[in-house]
Amino acid sequence: MSLPTEEQVKEKLTAVIDPELRRNIVELGMVRSIEIKEDGQINVTVSLTTPGCPIRSHFQDAVVQQVSSLDGVTGVGVGFDVLSDEEKAGLMQTLGRGKLPQGALAQVKNVIGIASGKGGVGKSTLTANLAAAIQAEGHSVGVLDCDVYGYSIPRMLGVDRKPEVNAERKILPPVAESGVATMSMGYFVNDNAAVVWRGAMLHKALQQFLEDVAWGELDYLLLDLPPGTGDVAMSMAQLLPQAKIAIVTTPQPAAQSVAARSAEMSAKVDVEVMGIIENMAGFTTPTGETFSIFGEGGGQLLADELEVPLLGNVPLSEELREHADTGNPLAIEEPDSPAGQAIVAIARKIIASTPRELPMIQSMDTSAPELAPKLGKNARELPLV
């Protein structure tokens, strides 16, 4: 079968509209490059106005959908880079406007949610420790505690200050000793007061945490998600379509089906699962005896089932819990302890697998059926929760 020409690909791309600027990406000069390979693979690089562009996944889906409809195309890869200042100035002139939309979190390069199917598996502990470990590797990190009922990030990262508001009426996230910027409902309610949120209020609160908090430039924003697949996960997918999630599971094989539900949910709402973290894995005594209190192998099973990497296994560790309780993450206080080492290794894997500098190319083989949910068009049609 003959290959499509660059002109034909471009023609298709005129159907990809920037929802904020309301014009197509060819007209806007946002198509950086088109590569047509002999085997029918087409790679398109789209230039965005800001690196943390919240509509990145919209472009990705739309480009794949349009280009894959051409005859002879076997796969579509979509990469992104950012317009230079000069190009942005040119674009503003084309549009006849002085300011390009920034979008929430415009200066945040990666958003990663830490999720699980059931509660108490160590999401918050791992979020706090991974944030501190990634920061210690030299990257700027923020943590948003999305668990508005069972918030635990202030305690685990040892922050007991209330946030201040700056001159632009943005909320300044309190910074932990580790350098991690934090935001949590815990800063806004009195000690141990029960907070009752209905869906719509919850969505609003999370939206405010994203839009009214001066997060500034961050390499990573980690989201400590509440357990399960409810309202918060839906809201996050809606507010942050570019986010990825890491799923925490315990090692017993039976836990896997529960954890798999959060993956199903992610697929439904178009969020990419970046990998699995197994927590509370084997406990080794000082004499070298290992006890697998919560069973073995569940993390690997789930990773295999979802065809995503196992990012690591964090052992059961009394020190990890103690340090979380006192607000001093083990991963930076005792990075050489077994749990500390495991967490630092996971942090490094996360760093290695996420782009901090654009461009990035995400290859997508449109013929692979298991990718279908990720390309679903429902992502931005979720009911408001």
Ligand X SMILES: Nc1ncnc2c1ncn2[C@@H]1O[C@H](COP(=O)(O)OP(=O)(O)OP(=O)(O)O)[C@@H](O)[C@H]1O
**Selected range binding ligand X among 20-28, 120-128, 200-208, 289-297, rule: CB under 6 A:** 120-128
Q: Examine residue 19 and tell whether it contacts ligand X (CB under 6 A).
A: no
What's the full length of the chain, in residues? 385
Please tell me whether residue 262 binds Mg ion under the rule CB under 5 A: no
Among the listed ranges 177-185, 311-319, 361-369, 377-385, the one in contact with ligand X (CB under 6 A) is 311-319
Determine the straight-line distance between the first and last CA of the chain, rounded to whole angstroms. Answer: 47
Q: Is 316 in the site for ligand X (CB under 6 A)?
A: yes
Question: What CA–CA distance (Å, rounded) separates 339 from 335?
Answer: 8
- Using the 8-state DSSP alphabet, how is residue 2 labeled? P
Shortest spacing between CB 150 and Mg ion, in angstroms: 6
Indicate whether 122 belongs to the interface with ligand X (CB under 6 A).
Answer: yes
For 378-384, the CB contacts below 8 A with 24+ separation are 378/268, 378/269, 378/270, 379/57, 379/61, 379/237, 379/241, 379/269, 379/270, 380/58, 380/238, 380/241, 382/234, 382/237, 382/238, 382/269, 384/200, 384/203, 384/238
Measured from the CB of residue 235, what is the shortest distance to Mg ion in angstroms? Answer: 17
- Strand arrangement of the beta sheet that strand 272-281 belongs to: 181-183, 141-145, 218-224, 108-115, 244-249, 272-281, 310-315
**Binds ligand X by CB under 6 A, chosen from 91, 121, 159, 277:** 121
Q: Is 130 in the site for ligand X (CB under 6 A)?
A: no
Is 147 a binder of ligand X (CB under 6 A)?
yes
Q: Segment 267-286, which members bind ligand X (CB under 6 A)?
A: 279-280
Site string for ligand X, 181-200 (x = CB under 6 A): --------------------
- Nearest to Mg ion by Cβ — which residue? 124
CB of 355 to ligand X, least distance (A): 27
Q: What does the alpha-carbon distance between residue 114 and residue 222 come to, in Å, rounded to a whole number?
A: 7
- Site for Mg ion contains 129 (CB under 5 A): no
Q: Is 129 in the site for ligand X (CB under 6 A)?
A: no
Q: How far is the CB of 178 from ligand X (least distance, A)?
A: 17
Separation of alpha carbons 66 and 53, rounded Å: 21
Residues contacting 371, CB < 8 A, separation 6+: 364, 365
* Residue 73 or 339 with smaller CB distance to ligand X: 339
Binding piece for Mg ion, criterion CB under 5 A, among 1-9, 93-101, 123-131, 238-246: 123-131
Cα separation, 192 vs 124, whole angstroms: 18
Q: Which does 278 bind (CB under 5 to 8 A by kind): Mg ion, ligand X, none?
A: none
Is-contact 243 379, C-beta < 8 A? no
Q: Which does 34 bind (CB under 5 to 8 A by kind): Mg ion, ligand X, none?
A: none
Number of H helices, E strands in the chain: 12, 17
Q: The tokens of 161 are what? A: 């200050």
Nearest to 316 by CA among 286, 293, 288: 293
Q: Check residue 380 for interaction with ligand X (CB under 6 A).
A: no
- Is 82 one of the binding residues for ligand X (CB under 6 A)? no
Using rule CB under 6 A, residue 227 touches ligand X: yes
Q: Is 250 in the site for Mg ion (CB under 5 A)?
A: no
| Cα angle: 221, vertex 224, 230; to 5 degrees | 120
Residue 124 engages Mg ion in binding (rule: CB under 5 A): yes
DSSP conformation class of 213 = B
CA angle 259, 261, 345 (to 5 degrees): 35
Name the minimum Å distance from CB 246 to ligand X: 12
| Binding residues for Mg ion (CB under 5 A) | 123-124
| Binding residues for ligand X (CB under 6 A) | 116, 119-125, 147, 150, 152, 226-227, 279-280, 314, 316-317, 320-321, 324, 339
